[in-house]
């Protein structure tokens, strides 16, 4: 408990919020870097996942790839990319992208696939084009699950982005590593608390967006929600 009190004291010490290593700066770096990773993962993962969910093609491949990618150890990717690309943000960016892609892909794919085929059939019957079906029917209905995938990716990236400090001067991993290696455990723990808080705040924001999307996708149907949240749990982990 003492350790925790010291960590909170460290966090509250105004000295740590000033100067070159000011915590505010570190928080912004951490959030900014994580956001870029998740956005790029979304830019790749959502179209690809949606397409696979829509056409049903490449289904086996996507399950194998996302399963395999989950087993890849981030530290291993970080060190090998580091050796190849040098210091800086490139290597941690790639390593975290590999971490973020599987939940985003799985979310997009599972979300679109979980849309009732009868609904899609009805949309086709009233003359909507495939494009209209995708953007007007499938995507809005799949939105809660897609957002669930992004949420899971964002959580993992924020917590794992601490490893970026292994080879670059960025984010909350800096005080975490420095504190760990110099036995300033108040610093290390304080930084970890900040990371956990960031993760929680982001999680909360996603929850709000997700329930808004759910309300929009299923305004009248309380029962459907169960099916969707089931799909969400499957991809959330």
Partner 1 sequence: MNITPGRTARLRRTGLTIAAVGTAAALLAGCSSADPLDEGDSAPPAEGDSTTLVVGSQDYYSNEIIAELYAQALEADGVRVDRQLRIGQREVYMPEIESGAIDLFPEYTGPLLQYWEDEPAERTSDEVFDALVGAAPEGLTILEQAPATDQDSYVVTREFAEANDLTTVADLANVEGPLTMGANSEAETRPNGPQGLADVYGIEVGFTPIEDGGGPLTIQALQDGDIQLAIVYTADPTIAQNDLVVLEDTEGLFLASNVVPIASDRVDAEAQATIDEVSAALTAEALIGLNRQSVEEQSPAADIAQAWLEEQGLLG
Partner 2 sequence: MNWLSQNLHIVGQLLADHLVLSIPPILLSLIISVPLGRLAAGSPRWRTPLLTGTGLLYAIPSLPLFIIVPAVFGFSLRSPATMITALTLYGCALLVRGAADAFSSVPQDVRLAAAATGHSRWGMFWKVELPLAGPVLLSSLRVVTVSTVSLVTVGAVIGISSLGTLFTDGFQRNIDASIITGIVLTVVVAFALDALCVLAARWAMPWQRAVSRA
Q: Closest approach of Cβ 72 to partner 2, in Å?
A: 6
Q: Closest approach of Cβ 26 to partner 2, in Å?
A: 14
Inter-residue long-range contacts of 228-232, CB under 8 Å, 24+ positions, other chains counted: 228/114, 228/144, 228/145, 231/110, 231/111, 231/114, 231/145, 231/148, 232/144, 232/145, 232/148
> Residue 139 has which token pair?
């995507």
User: In the complex, which residues of this chain contact partner 1 (CB under 8 A)?
Assistant: 82-83, 86-88, 165-169, 174, 177-178, 181-184
Q: Does 6 bind partner 2 (CB under 8 A)?
A: no
Residue 120 or 191 having the CB closest to partner 2: 191
**Chain residues 51-110 in contact with partner 2, contact rule CB under 8 A:** 67-68, 70-80, 82-83
Q: Does 191 bind partner 2 (CB under 8 A)?
A: yes
By residue count, the chain amounts to: 237
Residue 230's binding partner among partner 2, partner 1, none (Cβ under 5 to 8 angstroms by kind) is: partner 2
- Strand locations in the chain (E): none
Residue 133 or 155 having the CB closest to partner 2: 155
Cβ atoms of 34 and 173 closer than 8 Å: no
- What is the three-class DSSP state of 174? helix
């Amino acid at each position: 408990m003492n350790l925790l009190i010291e960590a909170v004291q460290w966090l509250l010490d105004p000295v740590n919020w000033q100067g070159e290593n000011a915590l505010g700066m570190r928080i912004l770096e951490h959030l900014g870097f994580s956001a870029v990773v998740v956005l790029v993962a979304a830019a790749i993962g959502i179209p690809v996942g949606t397409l696979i969910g829509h056409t049903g093609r490449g289904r086996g491949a996507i399950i194998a790839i996302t399963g395999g990618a989950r087993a890849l150890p981030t530290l291993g990717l970080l060190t090998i990319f580091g050796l190849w690309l040098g210091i800086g943000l490139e290597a941690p960016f790639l390593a975290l992208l590999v971490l973020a892609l599987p939940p985003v892909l799985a979310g997009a794919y599972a979300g679109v696939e979980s849309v009732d085929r009868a609904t899609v059939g009805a949309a086709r019957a009233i003359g909507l084009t495939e494009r209209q079906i995708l953007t007007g029917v499938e995507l809005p209905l799949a939105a809660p699950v897609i957002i669930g995938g992004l949420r899971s990716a964002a959580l993992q990236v924020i917590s794992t982005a601490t490893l970026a400090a292994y080879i670059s001067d960025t984010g909350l991993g800096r005080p975490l590593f420095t504190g760990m290696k110099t036995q300033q455990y108040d610093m290390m723990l304080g930084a970890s608390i900040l990371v956990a808080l960031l993760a929680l705040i982001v999680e909360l924001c996603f929850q709000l967006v997700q329930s808004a999307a759910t309300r929009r996708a299923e305004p009248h149907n309380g029962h459907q929600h169960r099916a969707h949240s089931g799909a969400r749990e499957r991809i959330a982990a």
